[in-house]
């Protein structure tokens, strides 16, 4: 029996019979194939009588699937309403169970308005509660990152890499978007003002919605919280009329919402800082150390989800910058950095319950401008510089086991790099950009497999960058442009992009 033949001949109408045949002949791939077929062609499926006759459990299962492809949540609401109206007397008892699975807030006010005009949502008390949640969510933008369930997630199964700022060098090769700046030296460095995300299906970098063009900046942090990216601090650059570059630390904090490709301002940091580190424990984001234009900082600030205001907590034992931080096992670990004008290998552990810092086993190598992430309850640190007097950058990587309080060497990176950004994505560790021992900026994204202790090359950045901030977020890559009604309150069309923006680099199949 030709399995491919059965798949090619499968339609919504004959699927039930073909699936039974598949069960008889133990064709295990047939049911997953059909489900994928339904998810990819849900708009056509929703027009069939088979859809109207779906039982509640299967419909809810479909609606919860991140792989379900629809033009908008408002259109999905129309499909579900069609299903409901096929037998409203019998299905009224399931109204909340089913309509609650539409992700109104992902589409924004248009989907909410469509639902609010429906008679069911005006008379059914449980459906009114759906609208109440949606309206509260939309009205309190600064609190959105504190929610995370089926109602707020973007419909896409994979996370993708997001890049914020970084230091770039002026050159003829990478002058797009900066030609109006009066820089007179090709080797002069300044912050980059373009922020992007990687479209893995087509292998290109695309503008990051409303955050695509902001200030020229570097050495900020972006922390993933419930699929939002929280950007804290950093250095903002200004190019004077004489062509010289100046920079200053910022207190600014922005919340990027990947589902709507929009951003909102959050409460400012208490102290402007760059070259700091950030880490998130459930319910609270921490910004640690760094420096301003005058001095290194020991201060630590915390932003609790239920308060929305930054507060100081126990400072670091010593002022520290160009260090790295990661959350692990309910605590925050800080490694390396520059302390008293020396690169250190010290490791500090913060216990939020006690508001105290404890010294842990030092790294095997002193390093600053490195990166550190957590993967499966282990800390991984790599790259950086071991000395301020030497230009050489590190390839070494090491892993910390908290319960043993020990570090161990791992396979080194393929390329030496400092001022990198580390991201955990798809069970791999990505080392993004940086600067090598020859002071050349790097566009490589190196990939480490913790299970195999092996390195490979994931891809390249949109341009060579160091001091960039990266994280992994869920962005619906099926939609490369946005209509006015896809916004959640502001005029998104001013920031939208189309396929024409990318010329021949985008093929028709994307």
pLDDT at 245: 78
Q: The sheet that has 421-425: what strands, in order across it? A: 421-425, 428-432, 444-449, 454-460
**Whether the predicted pLDDT of 340 surpasses 80:** yes
Task: Please state the rounded mean pLDDT for residues 262-283.
Answer: 97
pLDDT at 23: 87
Interacting residues of 5 by C-beta distance below 8 A, sequence separation 6+? none
Domain 3-146, CATH: 1.25.40.420
The rounded percent of the chain whose pLDDT value lies above 70 is: 90
pLDDT in tens, 132-188: 999 999 999 999 999 888 999 989 989 999 999 999 987 644 445 554 555 556 677
**Whether the predicted pLDDT of 485 surpasses 50:** no
pLDDT in tens, 112-135: 999 999 999 999 999 999 999 999
User: Helices then strands (H, E): number in the chain?
Assistant: 13, 31
pLDDT at 496: 30
**Whether the predicted pLDDT of 449 surpasses 50:** yes
pLDDT in tens, 52-64: 999 999 999 999 9
Residue 491: how many CA atoms within 13 Å on its side-chain side? 2
Give the residue with greater pLDDT, 492 vs 413: 413
Task: State the span(s) of the chain assigned CATH 2.120.10.80.
Answer: 160-477
User: Which helix (H) or strand (E) is 115 found in, with range?
Assistant: helix 109-116
Task: Please state the rounded mean pLDDT for residues 259-267.
Answer: 92
* CA distances in angstroms from 272 to 101, 233, 368, listed in the order given: 41, 6, 21
pLDDT at 53: 96
The rounded percent of the chain whose pLDDT value lies above 90 is: 75
Task: Please state the rounded mean pLDDT for residues 34-41.
Answer: 96
- The rounded distance, in Å, linking the Cα atoms of 113 and 320 is 50
Q: How confident is the model at residue 242 (pLDDT cuts 50, 70, 90)?
A: low
CATH code matching the domain that covers 160-477, chosen among 2.60.40.420, 3.30.420.40, 2.120.10.80, 3.30.379.10: 2.120.10.80
Q: Are 350 and 395 in contact (CB under 8 A)?
A: no
- The rounded distance, in Å, linking the Cα atoms of 396 and 448 is 12
pLDDT in tens, 374-427: 999 999 999 999 999 888 999 999 999 999 999 999 999 999 999 999 999 999
Task: State the span(s) of the chain assigned CATH 1.25.40.420.
Answer: 3-146
């Amino acid at each position: 029996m030709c399995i491919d033949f059965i798949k090619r001949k499968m339609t919504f109408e004959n699927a039930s019979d073909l699936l039974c045949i598949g069960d008889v002949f133990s064709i295990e791939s047939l049911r997953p194939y059909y489900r994928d077929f339904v998810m990819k062609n849900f708009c056509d499926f929703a027009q069939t009588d088979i859809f109207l006759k779906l039982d509640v459990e299967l419909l809810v299962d479909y609606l919860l699937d991140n792989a379900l492809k629809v033009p908008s949540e408002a259109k999905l609401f129309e499909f579900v309403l069609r299903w409901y109206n096929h037998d409203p007397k019998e299905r009224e008892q399931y109204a909340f169970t089913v309509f609650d699975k539409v992700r109104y807030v992902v589409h924004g006010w248009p989907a909410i308005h469509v639902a609010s005009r429906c008679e069911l949502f005006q008379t059914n008390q449980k459906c009114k509660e759906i609208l109440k949640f949606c309206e509260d969510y939309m009205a309190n933008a600064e609190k959105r990152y504190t929610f995370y369930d089926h109602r707020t997630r973007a419909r896409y199964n994979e996370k993708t890499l997001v890049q914020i700022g970084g230091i770039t060098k002026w050159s003829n090769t990478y002058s797009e978007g900066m030609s109006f700046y009066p820089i007179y030296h090709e080797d002069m460095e300044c912050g980059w003002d373009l922020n992007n995300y990687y479209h893995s299906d087509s292998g290109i970098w695309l503008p990051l919605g409303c955050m695509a063009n902001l200030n020229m900046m570097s050495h900020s942090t972006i922390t993933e919280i419930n699929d939002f990216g929280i950007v804290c601090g950093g250095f903002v650059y200004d190019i004077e009329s004489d062509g010289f570059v100046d920079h200053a630390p910022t207190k600014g904090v922005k919340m990027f919402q990947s589902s709507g490709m929009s951003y909102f301002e959050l409460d400012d940091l208490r102290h402007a800082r760059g070259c700091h580190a950030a880490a998130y424990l459930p319910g609270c984001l921490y910004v640690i150390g760094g420096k301003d234009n005058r001095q290194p900082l020991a201060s630590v600030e915390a932003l609790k989800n239920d308060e929305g205001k930054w507060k100081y907590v126990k400072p670091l034992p010593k002022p520290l910058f160009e260090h790295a931080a990661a959350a692990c096992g309910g605590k925050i670990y800080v490694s390396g950095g520059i302390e008293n004008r020396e690169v250190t290998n010290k490791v500090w552990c913060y216990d939020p319950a006690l508001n105290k810092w404890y010294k842990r086993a030092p790294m095997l190598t002193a390093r600053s401008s490195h990166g550190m992430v957590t993967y499966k309850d282990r800390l991984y640190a790599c790259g950086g510089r071991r000395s301020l007097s030497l230009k050489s950058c590190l390839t070494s990587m090491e892993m910390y086991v908290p319960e043993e309080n020990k570090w161990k060497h791992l396979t080194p990176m393929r390329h030496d790099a400092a001022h990198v950004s580390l991201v955990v994505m798809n069970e791999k560790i990505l080392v993004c950009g940086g600067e090598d021992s020859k002071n050349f900026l790097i566009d490589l994204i190196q990939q480490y497999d913790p299970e195999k202790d092996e390195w490979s090359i994931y891809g390249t950045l949109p341009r060579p960058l160091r001091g960039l901030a990266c994280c992994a977020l869920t962005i619906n890559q099926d939609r490369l442009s946005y209509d006015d009604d896809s916004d959640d309150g502001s005029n998104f069309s001013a920031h939208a992009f189309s396929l024409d923006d990318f010329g021949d680099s985008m093929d028709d199949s994307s």
